[in-house]
Amino acid sequence: MRHTLAVLVENNPGVLTRVAGLFSRRGYNIDSLAVGRTENARISRMTIVVEGDDNVLEQVTKQLNKLIDVIKICDITSEQYVDRELVLIKVAADPSVRGEIMQIVDIFRARIVDIGRKTLMIECTGDEGKINAIIESLKPFGIRELVRTGKIAMLRGAKSTSVDGTDDSSNVINGNSNDREDD
């Protein structure tokens, strides 16, 4: 099962290295990882998608909680949330097929962001299913290059993973505390 974790961390140099190193040392595979600043410049938010059963999730969260930079961990997998990814796709597009590619771009509400002599660069945002679908639709034309961000996600409605005390999520997994467990 894939789990989506929202992890709030101190915005300090080396935090990403420590988190990635933790996963690497323990042999856990990160399916996707996206990190960026929050509304508070001192705090960054990581959205980590990890594959594994409940035991793997428990070990990952225990190890993350040991990192001093980690403020809060929320498993939002079973919550209602909005998620997005961004993809840039450079596709082969000689003049005879550009019209067909532009129709696909319209269907997916994507955008053409660059035009070359024989290529088009397409930008698309959406959930994983939409991103996978546009990639599959453009494969027959010849994808020359593709880059895809990891998933970012935010809880729907009043629920929050912020650190300002408004959290009413039932899936908070500890966080920056002094009562960390050793495994």
The pLDDT tens digits of the residues spanning 30-56 come to: 999 999 999 999 999 999 999 888 888
**pLDDT tens-place string over residues 125-143:** 999 999 999 999 999 999 9
pLDDT above 80 for 62? yes
Separation of alpha carbons 87 and 2, rounded Å: 21
Pick the CATH number of 82-148 from 3.60.40.10, 3.20.20.70, 1.10.600.10, 3.30.70.1150: 3.30.70.1150
The model's pTM is: 0.80
Cα Rg of the chain (Å, integer): 19
Percentage of the chain exceeding pLDDT 70: 90
Contacts of 142 (CB under 8 A, 6+ apart): 91, 92
Assigned CATH for 2-80+156-174? 3.30.70.260
**pLDDT tens-place string over residues 148-163:** 999 999 999 988 887 7
Q: What is the pLDDT of residue 159?
A: 84
- DSSP code string of 1-16: -EEEEEEEEE--TTHH
Q: What is the pLDDT of residue 177?
A: 42
